[in-house]
Amino acid sequence: MIKSGVTFLLLTFSVILWAQSTETTNTETLNLNKPERVEWFRDLGFGLFIHFSFDSQLGVVISHSMVGASEDYLNRYINELPKTFDPKDFDAKEIATLAKLAGMKYIVFTTKHHSGFCMWDTETTDFNITNTPYKKDLLDEYVEATREAGLAVGFYFSPEDFHFLHENGLEIRRTNINDIPPHLMKKYVELNELQTIELMAKYGDIDILFYDGGEGPLLEKCKQVAWELHPDVVITRGAMETPEQTVPGTTLSDPWEACLTMGTQWAYKPANEVYKTGTRLIEILVETRAKGGNQLLNIGPKPNGEVPEEQVNLLREIAAWNFVNGEAIEATKPWIIPNEENIWYTWKPKEKTLYAILTKQAEWPRGERREFVLKSVNATENTEVEVLGQSGKRVEYMSETNATTLFEQEENGLHISCVHAQRLYNNHKWNYPLVLKITNAQPAFTPPVVVTEEAEIIQSGGTNYIQFNGKIIEQGDQENLKVCFQYRPHFNPTKQPIPVEWKETKTMLINDEAFSIKLPVKNEKITYQYRLVLKHPKSTINGKIKSISLSAN
């Protein structure tokens, strides 16, 4: 770690970078991610997010309690709360080992959240972890342990800094930097620049950066500095789509990374937390990979640094599934369609190996045979099919049971018959997706490409309507396609564990490139999610999910 002369070094870096750069405006968005590094990142597939800071002691939302807080609250939060922060039981090696078992290939740690509290030994502010009873540089421990485990190192960093705003007499808020005086704005940008230089200079080559928040020069300067110092770093948020708590409605060709909490809160929540099941987390991971994205699953350590038992248990639940089925997640690409109902696909095109992941198969008794028809898949003369993790030769204690996976290509699809054979739990139950590995597979059809367009609110004959609009970009190999739109009240994943079921409009036959369907709606204030649904004879193809808000008159 750099200690002596660090301020001079950082300022020198800063002068060089300012001299090399042109002024970044609020409207510019810099993206210097190298294509080969982006592909490397996409192959990683699954990562661990860690939200941890000194306010984990309270079990409140990380950082955001500062917005709208009283002066008394802020004074105690900034000046008193760090005095009792001592994550002495933070075990970076144990966390990295558990992440690796769960199939994760990278970890992203919160170096500085919106509060401005730095989890490393920084010379830019006293508001950092070395001025707590812990005293040490926790980030250094995280980096060393993550690298030792063979995982990629990622940093989360917030250019928004509530401590800086408060320190300079400015209102604490997430956005709207336009009313910050120019001399303070310059100081604000320089603070983030110096902190970025520290992070990129003190810990070796950083693989991934996740920037959360910041407008105009606050964010753009951080990105510019990071890429100048380490051109191979992959910036996710700030340079690619990173949906929170949700997965896009369709496969995206561009890189994306979804981030997800196990419960309802990012940082530690000691009371009233509601966790997703391990099965649900696995299903979300499967859907993410089938649609071409990365999944960043979050944990929030306790104030002493320990990972809550519930979160450890969920990671070990995922680890058991990954130990059997990890090859269906790592270094895969999307198939021609993401799914056929509850069967999701990932694909390794170079090997011509397809993975059919059988979700929603709860209560599949060991030794029971089930049959599936894969309409989007054609076998070849060299095709073989197996269930990952199983030899197909034996079911324990069931010597008369034939565990062989059988398959036959028929006109309506690839028919597969398989047995749940492997014993993984003592009670003989395994309520998680089984995975079929299909070698030398071929697509059974060329799917059309459809787009959900922006909907409109229109009036006709005294009635309000939502007019849903769609477009076919590529016809595929099928004519006279049928479409409808699905809609539902807007889903808030932090408040609703399970989304409301989709409703459908009428179905229509289309021949034109663009089309519309009108839905009468009540005069009420509500936000709807909607998507285009194309009903191909061999698959249902969903368009991207969009939203539209109605306002009551």
- What are the pLDDT digits (tens) for 89-123? 999 999 999 999 999 999 999 999 999 999 999 99
Q: Does domain 37-323 bear CATH number 3.20.20.80?
A: yes
Least confident of 89-93, 125-129, 425-429: 425-429
Separation of alpha carbons 49 and 64, rounded Å: 18
Could you please state the CATH topology (level 3) that the domain comprising 449-550 is classified under: Immunoglobulin-like (2.60.40)
Dump pLDDT digits (tens) for 180-223: 999 999 999 999 999 999 999 999 999 999 999 888 899 999 99
What are the domain boundaries of the chain?
A: 37-323, 339-443, 449-550
DSSP H/E element including 78:
helix 71-79
Averaged pLDDT of the chain = 92
For helices 6-20 and 182-202, the axis angle rounded to 10 degrees is: 110
Residue 323 carries which DSSP code? Answer: H
Dump pLDDT digits (tens) for 473-506: 888 887 778 999 999 998 776 666 567 889 999 9
pLDDT at 12: 53
Q: 0.85 exceeded by the pTM? A: yes
* Mean pLDDT (whole number) for 256-266: 97
Dump pLDDT digits (tens) for 230-241: 999 999 999 999
Cα end-to-end span (Å), the chain? 62
Separation of alpha carbons 71 and 478, rounded Å: 65
Separation of alpha carbons 468 and 534, rounded Å: 14
Separation of alpha carbons 202 and 71, rounded Å: 35
Least confident of 37-51, 164-178, 282-296, 312-326: 164-178
Dump pLDDT digits (tens) for 395-407: 999 989 999 999 9
pLDDT at 24: 39
Separation of alpha carbons 36 and 32, rounded Å: 12
The residue among 24, 57, 48 whose CA lies nearest residue 99 is 48
* Mean pLDDT (whole number) for 55-74: 97
pLDDT at 26: 42
Burial-class residue 552 by CB neighbours within 10 Å (0-12, 13-18, 19+).
Answer: exposed
Tell me the sheet residues that pair with 347: 333, 354
* Mean pLDDT (whole number) for 318-338: 97
Dump pLDDT digits (tens) for 139-162: 999 999 999 999 999 999 999 999
Separation of alpha carbons 535 and 541, rounded Å: 6
The residue among 303, 209, 316 whose CA lies nearest residue 262 is 316
Count of Cβ atoms closer than 10 Å to residue 199 Cβ: 25
